[in-house]
Structure 1
Amino acid sequence: MKTVFSPRHRGHAEQLELVAGAIVPGFELTSRAEYVAARIKAVGLGEILEPTEHDLTTAARIHHQDYLDFLPTIWDRWTAEGRSGTALPFTWPTRGLRGDVRPEFIDGLLGYYSFDAGCGIVEGSWDAIKSSHDTALTAAAMVQGGARSAFALCRPPGHHAGAGFMGGYCYINNAAVAAQSLRDGGAKRVSILDVDYHHGNGTQEIFYARADVQVINLHADPMQEYPYFLGHADERGAGDGEGFNLNYPMRFGTAWDRWSQSLDDACAKLLAYAPDVVVVSLGVDTFEKDPISKFKLKTEDFPKIGEKIAALGLPTLFVMEGGYAVAEIGVNAVSVLTGFEGA
């Protein structure tokens, strides 16, 4: 399996975030991706390639143009006000407020285009975001070209980014852009299987009214866990997308026995949809030692995930999402891939 990985991700570094009442160093570290890349080399998974450059044409098919126009300007707008450090929002529109009116000033714009304070922007952030987008599209082209599988080692991740908002360390929705690219390249149907601990609320929002992209999420129950406001089992899609959005919310403490039952049912639903290709949003923050998650999967469970996905018998693109136990992230993420390859 070939991997696409950009060294430009390192530009997004030392950003801060707001969590549990404090401004703290971001959990989404540069070392996350480096651990995964090192593990790929250690096990000899396959060649690691840098992405080719892509414009934002495909991204504009799933993201709002004004949002894409805003992202590259954040740092310059922030520093133009004489500020340094991480650009973070501190106010958001909510129920009863005029969330449809776009502010002019940078503080208002940051709140308008986000749903939390987890998407800090520093000087090198946009270049890293763009390279992550390019990584997803480059790997998608490999699968479109006939490869059985490919791995987009994206950083920053993407599945919390919606059509017009960032959040949860995510700016451009890499998996959604890849799925759109595969559709544009001839796939009649694409399934996105999100196995991250946190619900892929952005991916759900983007495709909720579409029948050509099935979205399946296995995740922590939004009654207990971030991002809280999407991810319930009764969210099934709308309009043409009715029935093509599937959520498997699970409670704190979920271990392999319960989690794997959800995966088995999800795989059965995926096969019934009969996609031409699968995009896996690969988060490994379901791990029992993850510092910001509360599931109980063990290292030996991750190869089984890859084996179950391989049993689908479909071309598969893996796109890196979450996982914050950096000492183990490389082993766990790559174990999914080697499990897939060995099945």
Structure 2
Amino acid sequence: MQIVHSPLHVRHSDGVELHRGELVPCYEKPERAEYIREALVDAGHAFVEPRNFAVETLHRVHDPAFVAFLSTAHARWREEGRDGSMLPSGFPARSLRRDRVPEGINGAMGYYAFDAGTPIVEGTWDAAFASAQCAMTAAALVAEGMPAAYALCRPPGHHAARGAYGGYCFLNNSALAAQELRDRGFGRVAVLDVDYHHGNGTQDIFQERGDVLTVSIHGTPETEYPYFLGFADERGSGEGEGCNLNLPLPRGTGWEAWSAALDTALEAVAAFRAEALVVPLGVDTYEGDPISAFGLREEHFPMIGARLAAAGLPTVLVQEGGYAVREIGTNVAGVLGAFERGAG
């Protein structure tokens, strides 16, 4: 399996986040990608850098004004004499207007962000755009005949909505991969998100579309981030009615219940008659993850890879979460190795 990765991910670093009431160093840090890269090098995988995609390709899934905001945000911040992490201090919540984007950078930041845990630093745009290009390149490789490809994306992407960022995510890498597959001739694409946290951004982007199925197995939003989306009664709308499936699970869920949810998810993919599969691959379901609460162990990740391969579809795997940094490489390598063996 070919691995697409950009060294530009390191430009998004040294940020701080507001995590459960405390300002702390960001859990989403460069070491995550480096541990994965090292584990995959040791496993003998080949790496390629992403292709150059025009910024306008992002507009296929993101609001152009939102993309323009992200690409200029830190420069505008510096124009006001500031530096370091950008975090919002206000949001257009209930009773406030949501139909106007404030001209000032502080108001604009609050308009486009949905949490105070996703810092923008000087190199964020470079890293986020490179991450998106990794995902689109992996999709292009699959469209050109590879049975599968993996995008080692950082920062992650599945929380980024059409016009909003949060959850460490700026551009929705998995949605961009799915759209690339659609644009290259796959009529029906399924997105099966196995990250601990609900893929709210992906759901938002494809909510009203019938050509992309979105399925997410995740911690229940009753107690888990992002809290306000990911419930089982969200089924899509308009032409997308019935094309969204959420499988929320309680804190402490172990392999037996989680694997049963995976069976349900794969059955939905088969019933949709998907022609290609995108897997937002979060390994924060691991029992030692510091900001998640499932109980999957190291031996379960190869089992996930084998089950995904058994779907028999051209597949793009896109890196999402996983914050137990030293274990993340082993767990990702476990998924990819078993996928290759199963697909072979």
Give your verdict on TM over 0.5. yes
RMSD of aligned residue pairs (Cα, Å):
0.7
Per-residue deviation, residues 269-326 of structure 1 (Å, max 9, x unmatched): 1011111110000000000000000000000000010111111000000000000000
The amino acid of 1:239's aligned partner reads: G
Q: How does 1:107-122 map to 2 (within 5 A)?
A: 107-122=106-121
Per-residue deviation, residues 87-131 of structure 1 (Å, max 9, x unmatched): 111100111110111101011000000100122111111110111
> What is the number of equivalent residue pairs in this alignment?
342
Name the TM-score, length of structure 2 as normaliser. 0.98
Distance, in Å, in 2 between the alignment partners of 1:239 and 1:84 is 44
The amino acid of 2:290's aligned partner reads: P
Distance, in Å, in 1 between the alignment partners of 2:254 and 2:58 is 36
Distance, in Å, in 2 between the alignment partners of 1:120 and 1:36 is 22
In the alignment, which residue of structure 2 is the partner of 1:124? 123
- C-alpha displacement of 1:24: 1.1
The amino acid of 2:331's aligned partner reads: N
Q: How does 1:10-25 map to 2 (within 5 A)?
A: 10-25=10-25
The amino acid of 2:170's aligned partner reads: Y
In the alignment, which residue of structure 1 is the partner of 2:83? 84
1:221 paired to 2:220: yes
In the alignment, which residue of structure 1 is the partner of 2:26? 26
Per-residue deviation, residues 25-70 of structure 1 (Å, max 9, x unmatched): 10001000010010001111x2111111111233101110100111
In the alignment, which residue of structure 1 is the partner of 2:43? 43
In the alignment, which residue of structure 2 is the partner of 1:105? 104
In the alignment, which residue of structure 1 is the partner of 2:292? 293
The amino acid of 2:69's aligned partner reads: F
Q: What percentage of aligned pairs have identical amino acids?
A: 53
Gaps of 5+ in 1: none
In the alignment, which residue of structure 2 is the partner of 1:273? 272
Per-residue deviation, residues 223-257 of structure 1 (Å, max 9, x unmatched): 01000000000000001000000000000000000
The amino acid of 1:25's aligned partner reads: P
1:317 match: secondary structure:
strand
Distance, in Å, in 2 between the alignment partners of 1:185 and 1:57 is 17
- C-alpha displacement of 1:20: 1.6
The amino acid of 2:260's aligned partner reads: Q
2:62 match: secondary structure:
coil
Distance, in Å, in 1 between the alignment partners of 2:258 and 2:58 is 32
Runs of 4+ aligned residues of structure 1 deviating over 6 Å after TM superposition are none
The amino acid of 1:6's aligned partner reads: S
Distance, in Å, in 2 between the alignment partners of 1:134 and 1:229 is 29
- C-alpha displacement of 1:169: 0.4
In the alignment, which residue of structure 1 is the partner of 2:262? 263
Per-residue deviation, residues 153-206 of structure 1 (Å, max 9, x unmatched): 000000000000000000000000111111011110100000000000000010
2:269 match: secondary structure:
helix
